[in-house]
Amino acid sequence: MNISRGKRFGAGKSLALLFGMFVLPVHAAVLNIDATFVPDLTAPHKNEFVNKTPSQGFCQQLPHVCLPEGLFSLIAPIAFTANAPIRAGHTDPRQGGMASVPSSWRDVEVTHASGDKQTLKVRIAGIGHEAALPVSIGEITGSSGVAGWDKLWEGGGWVYAPPPCQGVGRLTVGEHGYNSFWKVPLGAGVCAKRALFDIPLAFRYQYFVFGYELRTPEPLKMQSGHYTGSITFSVGPGQDFDMGDVMQPDDSTLTLNFNLDVQHTLKVDIPPGGEKIQLVPEGGWQSWLQAGRKPVRLFRDQTFNISASSRFKMHLQCGYTTTDDQCGLFSGAANRMVGIYVSVSLPNGLTDMAGQPVRQMRLRPGEANALQFQPGFYVDRAPGVLHFEMPSQRVEEMLRPGAGHRYWGPVTVIWDSEV
């Protein structure tokens, strides 16, 4: 008998250059986010994607603030320009410095070339921008630098975030510009600051930086290859990204394209010589040869090592097939065939599709009869067993006079990753 694998794979001080020194494209409000899953044999229970998109702005400069919270940041090449002066002491938050972002989780459907669809979730978890004045801060408030910006806004400069947003204690400041970043809690709503001095026309946000969090699908339930999908946010007054009624964007949408790359492992190793199976009685043939006791059954258990991080199927291909659709062994001398049973036991971590352990589960010929299995975590070179057995009724037939003394036939066991 032959055993082979089937389809293959296999803090409150200034920090210079917080957001600066970026060349921004114009009207290119489309950003790509790439994430990859590769099984990690050093951490088999860590079944999650790794975001491969380099952060820009805040999380690039201060990764130790972002990483513990699973926060990433990107620069959106969208500028906001005031369409009217911001008046001191305004009572309507929409007439001053405010931000409202899509901080609740949004679903994004990602699709594989096969048509398989999965859902990831994304939320905007932070917002920052580079504010630019048409005149110096000293001309507006009478004080320069940080002191001037602290005078401009109620409660201090933008480093002091208004509730429900949360400041991070970092800023970059100049006479005409100010950078800061606010973390945005889930479902936060509007975060707004009141101006204490008139801010003249041509006040701008040169661009904005947004922080985001991801909840990616369960990679062990996905197919190998690429999944793609996108989400588009509206930008402007009353939209997803809303900076109030005074600050008007130069682009009305921001699209995020997602590309999830799944690199699964399915590998089966058969020990040397394991491709040749000899069925023998329990304890060998000596009981029959020396004591005349006929064997009740013939069998052989063949171990293999399997590494798997995705669903897979198993089925048989038979050199000979019996009338009851089992693989058969043939005796040329007797011109007759007998069927054998082949079953499989899989290691812990691999189950059937109902989540049950796989213990001596019968395999059958043909892809249409294939059994599906799934990993609960990445299994790396764990031992499984193929069970080959000739049932007692067939053994009795084979031991009759004239029934032939040698039966053989190829049986191919297929592990198929294309589920």
CATH number of the domain enclosing 362: 2.60.40
Give the pLDDT confidence score for residue 338 in this predicted structure. 86
Could you tell me the residue range of the domain that residue 87 belongs to? 13-262
Q: Is the N-terminal amide bond of 164 cis, ω within 30° of 0?
A: yes
Q: Classify residue 1: in a domain, yes or no.
A: no
| DSSP state letter for 274 | T
Q: Are residues 220 and 80 in the same domain?
A: yes
Answering whether pTM is above 0.75, one says yes
Q: Are residues 34 and 104 in the same domain?
A: yes
Tell me, yes or no, whether 343 and 229 share the same domain: no
pLDDT of 46: 83
3-class DSSP string for 172-201: EECCCEEEEEEECCCCCCEEEECECCCECC
pLDDT of residue 287: 61
pLDDT of residue 10: 33
Does 301 share its domain with 359?
yes
Specify whether 256 is located in the same domain as 165.
Answer: yes
pLDDT at 283: 63
The whole-number pLDDT of residue 279 equals 87
**23 occurs within a structural domain:** yes
Residue 221's pLDDT is: 87
Asked if residue 37 and residue 159 are part of one domain, the reply reads yes
419 residues of the chain, pLDDT tens digit each: 433 333 333 333 333 334 333 333 445 589 999 999 999 877 888 889 999 999 999 999 989 989 999 999 999 999 999 999 999 999 999 999 999 999 999 999 999 999 999 999 999 999 999 999 999 999 999 999 999 999 999 999 999 999 999 999 888 999 999 999 999 999 999 999 999 999 999 899 999 999 999 999 999 889 999 999 999 999 999 999 999 999 999 999 999 999 999 999 999 999 998 889 888 887 666 666 555 567 677 889 999 999 999 999 999 999 999 888 889 988 877 788 888 999 999 999 999 999 999 999 999 999 999 999 999 999 999 999 999 998 877 777 777 666 667 888 999 999 998 76
Q: Specify whether 275 is located in the same domain as 258.
A: no
Phi, psi of 288, deg, nearest 5: -80, -45
2 lies in some domain: no
Name the DSSP class of 95. G
Identify the H or E element spanning 141: helix 137-141
* Token pair of 409 as six digits: 């036939």
pLDDT value of position 334: 75
How far is the C-alpha of 288 from the C-alpha of 294, rounded, in Å?
Answer: 5
CA atoms of 213 and 69, how far apart (whole Å): 9
Overall number of domains in the chain = 2
Q: Is residue 7 part of a domain?
A: no
In a domain, 4, yes or no: no
**Cα–Cα distance between 164 and 152 in angstroms, integer?**
20
* 181 located within any domain: yes
The residue among 262, 284, 312 that closes a domain is 262
Is there a single domain that holds both residue 237 and residue 225? yes
Please say whether the beta carbons of 259 and 228 come within 8 A. yes
Instruction: Flag whether 8 is in a domain.
Output: no
Tokens 């000899």 sit on residue:
278
Sequence-separated (6 or more) residues with CB below 8 Å from residue 231: 106, 108, 122, 255, 256, 258
- At 380, list the tokens: 């790396």
